[in-house]
């Protein structure tokens, strides 16, 4: 079996067809949307006279709709084709981001972020399969390209949000709309046409949930849900703890995003090759728990360093959790991916909704970090039974995930 070391990252970018670059560009913009609002959370709260519990709903509605939509994207793509699915997702994002820039209340923003999440679900769940089908260098090259797009999007999203948000909180939404409109035009004009519907695998809406009957996939998916909850505790709550301006928050999360990119593309394959996917995932999620534990008792400078370093663990886990989920069962990859992502994003949506209430209940702004550390420990315990799988010891990410695997 080949390993993640067989493909050099620089070689991945050579000689790729136009469709791959267009999809990768759109993926960068789509992933920007996850961290885009981080630097402007305080600005939105002030402009719309909203509390933290209301503002963090911008993550909740985005992720909540994405969770449900993940169950139908496979069936939609099978019926209408990947190009139509990608274009549908991009069009929804363009419309939602334009409307966000014009919103006049926090309720409107929350509702429009839900539409944004729907569009993101259609796009993210299909983009990697498009890249896999068109990329030269095989599936490993496609995975690395996709993960590079993920890292660039996660790192530049907060930076763009900071720069435009320093002018107005509406700026990041308008900027994203413009960039995504370019991606929509390019995708419509240059992505390959959808093939004959009769040649596509039929996927039922309930198939992803049925796949979770497999105990290994269920444990991995639930473990990822607990980790993703911790991930969004850091993403959604840190700005309220730091109380920095838009530029400062953007720079902190830019450093975080760079760590996500480096760890996901270069460090995760090495960790998996050394300890196996499950073993590497357990190590990484316990590292995340340790970082959150320090953030729970640290000062603002400690929280800044913790946020940035947490990106290393997140980069590892984004790749390793997905590799484990895709290799642990015999379910078709699109089906296993949809079931896994349903659980994963459900954890993120729950955390974004409840994080403000956790801080209020415990009377401490740092309490959510402590809760996140506990959730990561639970995630590690869920994965321990998977260490008994002998086949895992020599498997690395890069050959497992093919559809909708990332954040």
pLDDT digits (tens, 9 = 90+) for 210-242: 889 998 999 999 999 999 999 989 988 998 899
CATH number of 4-394: 1.20.1250.20
Q: Are 211 and 335 in contact (CB under 8 A)?
A: yes
Instruction: Tell me: pLDDT of 407 over 50.
Output: no
Rounded average pLDDT over 262-280? 88
Q: Give the pLDDT score at 137.
A: 63
Q: How confident is the model at residue 390 (pLDDT cuts 50, 70, 90)?
A: very low
Read off the tokens for 311: 């990106």
Residue 168, Ramachandran bin (φ over 0: left; ψ between -120 and 50: alpha; else beta): beta
Instruction: Tell me: pLDDT of 389 over 60.
Output: no
Q: Give the pLDDT score at 24.
A: 84
Q: From CA 3, how far away is CA 23, in angstroms rounded?
A: 25
Cα angle 161, 163, 168; round to 5: 75
The 10 Å Cβ neighbour count of residue 373 is 21
Residue carrying structure tokens 């995003």: 257
Least confident of 13-27, 44-58, 292-306: 13-27
Read off the tokens for 16: 């790729």
Rounded average pLDDT over 63-89? 84
Please state the domain extents for the chain.
4-394
Instruction: Tell me: pLDDT of 288 over 90.
Output: yes
Q: Give the pLDDT score at 400.
A: 43
Read off the tokens for 361: 């209940």
Q: How confident is the model at residue 153 (pLDDT cuts 50, 70, 90)?
A: confident
Instruction: Tell me: pLDDT of 134 over 90.
Output: no
For the segment 291-315, what is each residue's pLDDT rounded down to a tens digit? 999 999 989 999 999 999 999 999 9
Q: How confident is the model at residue 347 (pLDDT cuts 50, 70, 90)?
A: very high
Q: From CA 25, how far away is CA 329, in angstroms rounded?
A: 32
Smallest CA-to-CA distance from 318 within 157, 173, 148 is with: 148
Q: How confident is the model at residue 140 (pLDDT cuts 50, 70, 90)?
A: low
For the segment 360-388, what is each residue's pLDDT rounded down to a tens digit? 899 889 999 999 999 999 999 999 987 76
Q: How confident is the model at residue 70 (pLDDT cuts 50, 70, 90)?
A: confident
Contacts (Cβ under 8 Å, ≥6 apart) of 47: 169
Q: Are 370 and 207 in contact (CB under 8 A)?
A: no
Q: How far apart are the first and last CA of the chain?
A: 27
Cα 114 to Cα 64, 70, 107: the distances in Å are 7, 13, 11
Sign of CA dihedral 104, 106, 107, 111: positive
Q: Give the pLDDT score at 259.
A: 92
Residue carrying structure tokens 């402009």: 47
Q: Give the pLDDT score at 393.
A: 42
Instruction: Tell me: pLDDT of 105 over 50.
Output: yes
Instruction: Tell me: pLDDT of 143 over 70.
Output: no
């Amino acid at each position: 079996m080949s390993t993640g070391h067989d493909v050099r990252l620089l070689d991945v970018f050579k000689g790729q067809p136009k469709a791959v670059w267009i999809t990768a560009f759109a993926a960068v913009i789509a992933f920007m949307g996850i961290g885009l609002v981080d630097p402007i959370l305080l600005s939105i709260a002030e402009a719309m006279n909203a509390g933290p519990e209301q503002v963090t709903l911008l993550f909740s509605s985005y992720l909540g709709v994405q969770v449900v939509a993940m169950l139908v994207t496979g069936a939609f793509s099978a019926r209408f084709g990947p190009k139509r699915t990608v274009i549908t997702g991009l069009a929804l994002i363009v419309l939602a981001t334009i409307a966000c820039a014009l919103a006049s209340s926090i309720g409107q923003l929350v509702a429009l972020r839900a539409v944004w999440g729907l569009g993101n679900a259609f796009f993210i769940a299909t983009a990697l399969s498009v890249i896999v089908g068109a990329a030269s260098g095989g599936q490993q090259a496609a995975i690395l390209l996709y993960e590079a797009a993920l890292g660039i999007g996660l790192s530049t999203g907060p930076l763009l949000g900071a720069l435009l948000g320093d002018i107005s909180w509406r700026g990041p939404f308008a900027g994203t709309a413009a960039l995504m409109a370019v991606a929509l035009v390019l995708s419509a004009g240059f992505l390959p046409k959808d093939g004959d519907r009769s040649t596509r695998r039929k996927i039922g809406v309930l198939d992803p949930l049925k796949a979770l009957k497999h105990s290994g996939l269920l444990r991995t998916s639930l473990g990822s849900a607990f980790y993703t909850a911790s991930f969004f505790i850091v993403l959604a709550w840190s700005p309220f703890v730091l109380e920095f301006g838009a530029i400062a928050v953007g720079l902190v999360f830019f450093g975080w995003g760079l760590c996500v990119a480096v760890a996901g593309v270069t460090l995760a394959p090495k960790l998996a090759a050394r300890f196996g996917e499950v073993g590497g995932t357990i190590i990484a999620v316990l590292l995340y728990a340790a970082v959150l534990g320090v953030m729970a008792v640290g000062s603002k400078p400690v929280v800044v360093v913790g946020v940035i370093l947490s990106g290393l663990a997140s980069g590892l886990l984004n790749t390793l959790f997905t590799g484990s989920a895709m290799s642990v069962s015999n379910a078709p990859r699109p089906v296993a991916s949809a079931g896994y992502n349903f659980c994963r994003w459900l954890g993120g949506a729950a955390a974004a909704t409840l994080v403000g209430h956790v801080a209020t209940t415990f009377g401490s702004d740092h309490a959510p970090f402590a809760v996140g550390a506990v959730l990561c420990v639970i995630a590690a315990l869920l994965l321990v039974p998977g260490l008994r799988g002998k086949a895992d010891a020599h498997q690395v990410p890069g050959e497992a995930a093919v559809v909708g695997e990332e954040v």
